[in-house]
Amino acid sequence: MKIWSSPSRSAIKLAALATTASLVLAACGGGSDDEASGKADADGIITVKLGVVGPKTGPASLYYEYMAQDFEAFSDDFEEQYGVKFDVVSEDDQASPEETARAVSKLINEEGVHAILGPPLSGNALQVADTVQRSGVPWLLAGPNADEIINYETQPNWAFQTNFTNQQIMSILGERLWADDAKVGIVFSGDGFGQSNLDQLKLWAEANGHELTVEETIQPGAADANAIVKRLEDAGVESVFMGITQGADTATVTRSMEQAGYAPATVMTTGTILTNYKDVAEPSQWENIQIVDPRNFLEGGDKWVLDQVQEATGDAPAIPTNNISTYAMLDIYAQAVKEVGDASDKEAVRQAIEDIKTVHIGPDLTIESPFSADDHKLYTDDPATWFTYGFDEDFNLVNLGTAAECLESGC
């Protein structure tokens, strides 16, 4: 069973070739028409001016693409369902903190957007957290996992997270990794995401009386991870967690594991492995890997979102986890705007988000009242609501049971 087919590159290539010249000449920002008043027009449609920040260009551009895919696949749905239309004003952050700061300030001060979606990378989101919080614009964080982005001491708080957070996944994983008092090692990428993974895992370990035996960084694009693997092996690590942004770097680690003949009992990672991993790894290298995620990729609303993206764009979801969390976020925001009736009343919209009753993910998955004043996280860290996945020969996900079940009876 194949879930999402790889993107057809040839179509992209043609389009890209045709547009490359114009891209080079005109560094373009997303256009916006002035109809986006935030209030209902004659037909009762509210057009929202939504600022979107992400790496449109450069090596991390998949982290912009998933947002674009969601707008392409679902814009009409939201207009139909809630009477809310998104007028997207996009800015390229080139995955750099400086550009992110520039982009965000432009969207807020010059464009006067009603809300901001992005940036998708934790490190860059951290960089602009204060700015956005101070300017009083609903901040839709569908990508980043770092807990540190939201400081609940500032109230009212403007940021909302629809991806799971690192603190949550660590509490799920911690139990698994340290089961039977195993020695645990982490390999994390040298970026905001990896660092946050490390910090949260250490926090959890400390709080639960455990100790992390080995901590190793992998630099993006590293040629090999032999030394890292060797150090894990020498320290007698039996449970390995990989908190790595790029699947390709995860592949480097598992390749070195295979080379060294190192097969720890438990190898856990995150949904980032769904991107960029499979094409550069071999089945023997992913045999043992498991991931945990609060989303059910194989059935129900989460799967529906991914299928819709594939159907509407003709490409595989760029970052499957984030395609889903973006859908959830747009659903929440559209509902809130509908309820307030005016997107420019940002304070009211913020409150409406915080008070949201039912979040819809696709036609048949709902999450009830996820938020409160000091909890702006869509998911919880209840192991019964998280899934554990393994991979088959063709790298299709296999549902091994909930995290709670795996803790109880092993997976």
Partner 1 sequence: MEAVVIGLVLGGLYALLAQSFVLTFITTRTLNFAVGEFVALGAFAAIAVSSWSWLPTPGKVAVGFLAAAVVGALVYRFLVLPFTTQGEHDVRWLLSTVAVSFVMLNLITNVEGPSPQRSDTARISGTVDILGAGVGKQQLVLAGLAVVISLLLIVVTQRTSVGLMMRAVSQDPDTASLMGVSPRAVGAASYFVAMGLAGLAGVLYAATVGASPVMGETLLVASIAVAIVGGLGSLWGPLLGGALYGVLSQVASYQWGAIWGETAGLLLVIVVLVAKPEGLLGRRMEVKL
Identify whether the C-beta of residue 185 lies closer than 8 Å to the C-beta of residue 237: yes
To the nearest whole angstrom, how small is the minimum distance from the Cβ of residue 353 to partner 1? 32
Which residues are within 8 A (CB) of 76 and not within 5 positions of it... i.e. 6 or more apart? none
To the nearest whole angstrom, how small is the minimum distance from the Cβ of residue 71 to partner 1? 19
Identify whether the C-beta of residue 122 lies closer than 8 Å to the C-beta of residue 193: yes
Identify whether the C-beta of residue 275 lies closer than 8 Å to the C-beta of residue 319: yes
Annotate 35-85 with DSSP letters as a single string. T--SBB-TTSPEEEEEEEEE--SSTTTHHHHHHHHHHHHHHHHHHHHHSEE
Give the residue with the Cβ less far from partner 1, 42 or 223. Answer: 223
Cα within 13 Å of Cα(400), Cβ side: 22
Identify whether the C-beta of residue 150 lies closer than 8 Å to the C-beta of residue 163: no
Sheet holding 115-117, edge to edge: 84-92, 46-54, 115-117, 139-141, 159-161
To the nearest whole angstrom, how small is the minimum distance from the Cβ of residue 254 to partner 1? 12
How many CB atoms within 10 Å of residue 311? 9
Give the residue with the Cβ less far from partner 1, 248 or 411. Answer: 248
Give the residue with the Cβ less far from partner 1, 57 or 372. Answer: 57
Give the residue with the Cβ less far from partner 1, 73 or 251. Answer: 251
Closest Cα to residue 332, out of 296, 365, 378?
378
Give the residue with the Cβ less far from partner 1, 12 or 265. Answer: 12
To the nearest whole angstrom, how small is the minimum distance from the Cβ of residue 120 to partner 1? 14
Closest Cα to residue 382, out of 169, 163, 229, 216?
169
To the nearest whole angstrom, how small is the minimum distance from the Cβ of residue 5 to partner 1? 14
Binding residues for partner 1, rule: CB under 8 A, are 7, 9, 12-13, 16-17, 19-20, 23-24, 57-62, 190, 216-228, 230-231, 248, 251-252, 255, 258-261, 275-276, 279-280, 282
Q: Which residue has the tokens 């991390």?
A: 60
To the nearest whole angstrom, how small is the minimum distance from the Cβ of residue 99 to partner 1? 15
To the nearest whole angstrom, how small is the minimum distance from the Cβ of residue 62 to partner 1? 6
